[in-house]
Structure 1
Amino acid sequence: MAARLEARATRHYFDSAFQCQAVKVLPNEYYVTNEDLMISTVLGSCVAACIHDPVIGVGGMNHFMLPEGDMQSPASATMRYGAFAMEVLINELLKAGAVRDRLEAKVFGGGAVLSAMQQMNIGERNGEFVLNYLRTEGIPVKAQDLGDVHARRINYFPRDGRVMVRKMAPHHQRAEEIIAKREQAAAQSVQAKTESPQRIERFTRPGVERFDRPARPGVERFDRPARPGVERLDRPARPGVERFDTALTRPRRTETAGD
Structure 2
Amino acid sequence: MEPDIVKDIFLQPGGLYWGENGTRIRTLLGSCVAICLWHPYYRVGGMAHIMLPKRPSSVPDPHNKYADDAIETFLEKFSLLGERPGRFVCKIFGGASMFSPDEENLEEVRKIVEIGDKNVEAVQTLIKKANITLSAANTGGSSHRKIYFSLWDGEVYMENPKNS
Preserved contact between residue 55 and residue 69 of structure 2 (Cα < 8 Å): no
Whose radius of gyration is greater, 1 or 2? 1
Aligned to 1:22: 8
C-alpha distance in structure 1 between counterparts of 2:9 and 2:157, whole Å: 15
C-alpha distance in structure 1 between counterparts of 2:148 and 2:49, whole Å: 13
Aligned to 2:104: none
Instruction: Provide the TM-score with structure 2 as the length reference.
Output: 0.84
Unaligned regions of 5+ residues in structure 2, if any?
102-107
- From 155, 159, 162, give the equivalent of 1:166: 159
CA deviation digits over 1:194-225, x for unaligned, max 9?
xxxxxxxxxxxxxxxxxxxxxxxxxxxxxxxx
- From 127, 149, 153, give the equivalent of 2:120: 127
C-alpha distance in structure 2 between counterparts of 1:94 and 1:165, whole Å: 29
How has the CA–CA distance of structure 1 residues 98 and 112 changed in structure 2, closer, same or farther, with 3 Å as cutoff?
farther
CA deviation digits over 1:77-98, x for unaligned, max 9?
2122111112113323443x26
After superposition, residues 80-119 of structure 1 pair within 5 angstroms as 80-95=65-80, 97=81, 99-100=83-84, 101-115=86-100, 119=110
Preserved contact between residue 59 and residue 159 of structure 1 (Cα < 8 Å): no
How has the CA–CA distance of structure 1 residues 92 and 23 changed in structure 2, closer, same or farther, with 3 Å as cutoff?
same
In structure 2, give the amino acid aligned to 1:146: T
In structure 2, give the amino acid aligned to 1:70: P
C-alpha distance in structure 2 between counterparts of 1:82 and 1:35, whole Å: 25
Aligned to 1:33: 19
C-alpha distance in structure 1 between counterparts of 2:141 and 2:82, whole Å: 32
C-alpha distance in structure 1 between counterparts of 2:17 and 2:137, whole Å: 19
* 1:159, distance to aligned residue in structure 2 (A): 2.6
CA RMSD, Structure 1 to Structure 2 (Å): 2.1
C-alpha distance in structure 2 between counterparts of 1:130 and 1:32, whole Å: 18
C-alpha distance in structure 2 between counterparts of 1:58 and 1:130, whole Å: 21
C-alpha distance in structure 1 between counterparts of 2:157 and 2:78, whole Å: 21
* Structure number having the greater strand percentage: 2
- From 58, 75, 78, give the equivalent of 2:63: 78
* 1:104, distance to aligned residue in structure 2 (A): 2.0
In structure 1, give the amino acid aligned to 2:73: V
C-alpha distance in structure 2 between counterparts of 1:102 and 1:42, whole Å: 27
Structure 2 residue 31 is the aligned partner of structure 1 residue 45? yes
In structure 2, give the amino acid aligned to 1:42: L
C-alpha distance in structure 2 between counterparts of 1:34 and 1:102, whole Å: 16
Q: Percent identity at matched positions? A: 29
Aligned to 2:50: 64
C-alpha distance in structure 2 between counterparts of 1:118 and 1:60, whole Å: 32
How has the CA–CA distance of structure 1 residues 149 and 98 changed in structure 2, closer, same or farther, with 3 Å as cutoff?
farther
* 1:72, distance to aligned residue in structure 2 (A): 5.8
Unaligned regions of 5+ residues in structure 1, if any?
1-18, 170-237, 241-259
